Amino acid sequence: MPSIVKNWPLYFKDMLIVKNTSHNVGVATLWSKPEFFEKLNCNTIGTCYSIEGIKYILRNLLGNTNIRYLVLCGTDLSKTGESLKEIFAGKYNIVISDFSFEDLERITTNVELVDMIENINPQEVQEKINSLSVKQAYGEAKEIIVKEKTHSKKPSEKTGFIIREKNIADAWLSALKLIKEYGIEKKTAYGIGSLEIMNLVTVTNEMEERHTPKFLGVTKKQIKDYEDQICTGKQIKSVEYTYGQGLCKYFMYDQIKWAINQLKTDKDRRRIFLTLWDPHTDKDSSLPPCLDSIQFLVQNNVLYMTAYFRSHDIFGAYPLNIFGLRKMQEIVAKEAGLDVGELTTISCSAHMYYNDLPAVEEILKWNYDLKCIPDPRGYFFIEVRDKIYAKYLNNSGIPVKTYSGETAKEVYNQILLDFAVSQLSHAFYLGAELSSAEDALKSGKKFVQR
């Protein structure tokens, strides 16, 4: 009855520091670098950056029943340590779709969680490990394979998907839907499957009173904590980096303050470009930044911000990332005396992992629905007289142009040539109304736009 499965650790082997697979104690350093604790006498040391990682910690625990204690230490930036504590307290909602109740019970009743969260002193962690009583393995080890759902690929554009939503939460729902429906199956460096679309563009305009519906899964306190991380260069000891440190300290100057000063000097500049990618070090790094650049542009005294992600876990990381960027945009605009415009993010690899699909499907089932989104390019007032007339107005009601013709096709072709419609729902609506207008013109009946 083996206490450890073949080829253990089963997941993230290259990112773990394996010391002694017979030892009773595993160590999760959360956001702190495992190398900071590499001299510990224990079983295995590894990070846990997100809820996604928890599922693999549990799999590795069940694959090695010699581990009777899991020490949580290091800085808990994303509160995954708190989520682990909830699971070990019997709140299985985070992982229930991934594990059977029996397997979760087996782990949580046989592995003791040792809470040393925020402790980054290796000596104190070792003293705690030494104080723990030695226990025998709790039975036969078990391998739980990540359930990779088969995916029926629908035809779509290869690259360049765009979402426009006022709120970040709504943009997140639409992004999840797009990836679920059109994502390409792709393996990852972590040995797990994913669905990916290329160059997902999301445009949001979130207000300062953040919209945080329950399905989003993040609290306003978590958002505030993350905003503080990304907008300042505050040093967090033992953590590899935060985006804020990269922006404010990495290149020996504070890029955010520099951007503010540049905007104060000349708001028409097109060179206010911030970077986190260092080609000298990041090309060979095991943990290069996912957020790589930010650019500010001003039009009509309004500050617009564009951020580029080389790789983006849309399910696990998108909401906090975008809330943090929005806060940065608000800070820069206020300091530079500008109004706040839209935030655009470009996610080159926009992906989600297979084992998150059940949760994604559940969220979309109860929360994703059609809604009326005003077309930023304006609207149309349609009349039938001697011909069909479609008066084009901007969203302030000011006329822009009038299109006319004897058939619906003649009118909508003119509209298409002018790129006067940007929303699919608007295009469908116009098609239906123009078709009704054509019928009215031919029959002599009265036309009333709906």
H or E segment and range at residue 242: none
- For the chain, the distance separating the N- and C-terminal CA atoms, rounded to the nearest angstrom, is 72
Is residue 69 within 8 Å of 132, Cβ to Cβ? Answer: yes
Is residue 389 within 8 Å of 380, Cβ to Cβ? Answer: no
* Helical spans, DSSP H, in 337-406: 357-367
Residue 290 falls in the annotated catalytic set:
yes
In degrees rounded to 5, what are phi and psi of residue 209? -80, 95
- For residue 427, give Cα distances in angstroms to 156, 309, 413: 19, 31, 11
Is residue 194 within 8 Å of 375, Cβ to Cβ? Answer: no
In degrees rounded to 5, what are phi and psi of residue 384? -120, 120
What is the rounded distance in angstroms from the CA atom of residue 163 to the CA atom of residue 439?
A: 34
Dihedral (C-alpha) 180, 183, 186, 187: value to the nearest 10 degrees?
Answer: -30
Question: 20-59 b/e with 16+ CB inside 10 Å = b?
Answer: eeebbbbbbbbbbbbebbeebebbbbbbbbbbbbbbbbbb
Question: Which residue in the list 42, 73, 290, 348 is annotated as catalytic?
Answer: 290
Number of Cβ within 10 Å of residue 222's Cβ equals 19
* Helical spans, DSSP H, in 63-100: 80-88
Dihedral (C-alpha) 369, 372, 377, 378: value to the nearest 10 degrees?
Answer: 170
Residues 6+ apart with CB under 8 A from 187: 193, 194
Size (the chain), residues: 450
Strand 184-187 to 193-204 pairing: antiparallel
SS3 of 113-136: EEEEECCCCHHHHHHHHHHCCCCC
Instruction: Give burial (CB, 10 Å; 0-12/13-18/19+) of 150.
Output: exposed
Is residue 316 within 8 Å of 50, Cβ to Cβ? Answer: yes
Residues recognised as catalytic: 290
